[in-house]
Structure 1
Amino acid sequence: MKDRAGLEERSALRVTVDFTDAAHRSLGVGWSVDAATYRRFESARIFLVALGSRPCRTYLGLVDGQDRTSIQLPEALPAGAYAIDVDAYGSASWGDGRLDARGRSPVFTVEPEAAESAGAD
C-alpha cells in the first residue's frame, strides 16, 4: 500500500519541445507542473522515445536544478515519430528511487532530409 500511495502523489509534467536547429537536430526541451501544484525539482532525466509498434526509451542526459535544456539528437537517428520523456526528482539524488513527476512531449517527426542536409554543406 505504501508504494501505491507514493504513485498517487506523482505529478504530471507538461513537456514542450521546439526545434532550435532542425538541420542539426537540436531541440529545446522544457517541463513544468500545473501552477496549483508547483514543485521545484532538483534533477530531471531526459529520454528520447522512438514511437511505433515497440516504443523504446533512450537516455539522453541529466539536468540539475533547471526546468529547460537543449539537446542534440543523435546523428544516426533514423527518420520517424518521436517524443521526449522527462522524469523529475525532488531530491538532489535521482538514485534514491523516488520519481516525483513524469511527462511526455507531443509527438514530433524527424524527417530524412534533416539528416541529409546536415552533411550537405
Structure 2
Amino acid sequence: MVAAVVGRWRGNPINMWGPPQDPTWAANDPYLHAEQLRDTTLYISTGTGQPGPLDTPAALHGDLIQSTWQLIFGSPLEAIMNMCTTQLRERFQQLGIPATFDFHPIGTHSWGYWEQDLHNSWPLFEAALTK
C-alpha cells in the first residue's frame, strides 16, 4: 500500500496514523481491539489478489495504466489483506464476536471490487441502521 500511495498518488502514508511505530497504529488495530467491536454490525471482505474480470483494460474503459497498477500493486496488496482478514476472522471466532466475512476467490485491491462489496454489504447495513 505504501508503494501505491507514494508512487501513484505522490501521497504520504504517514498521514494516516503517523509513522508505523506510532502508538496510534496499534490504537486503531481491529485485531488488537476486537472486543471493542462486539455488538457492532460488521461486514469485512477481501479478495485473494488473483486478478479477475474487473482488472482488465476493457473493464477499466481501456485504461492500460490503471489495469497495470491494479495488477502490480493491487494484486499483492489484496493477497496480504486476505491473510490479515483470515487472522481477524479467527480472532473474532475465538472471542465469539459475530461478524460477516465475505471472502472472494478473486479480486485485487481496487475500486471495482470495493463497489461490489458496498452493494453486497448494503442489506446488512440497512438492517442495522433501521433497528
TM-score of the pair, normalised by structure 1:
0.23
More strand by share: 1
More helix by share: 2
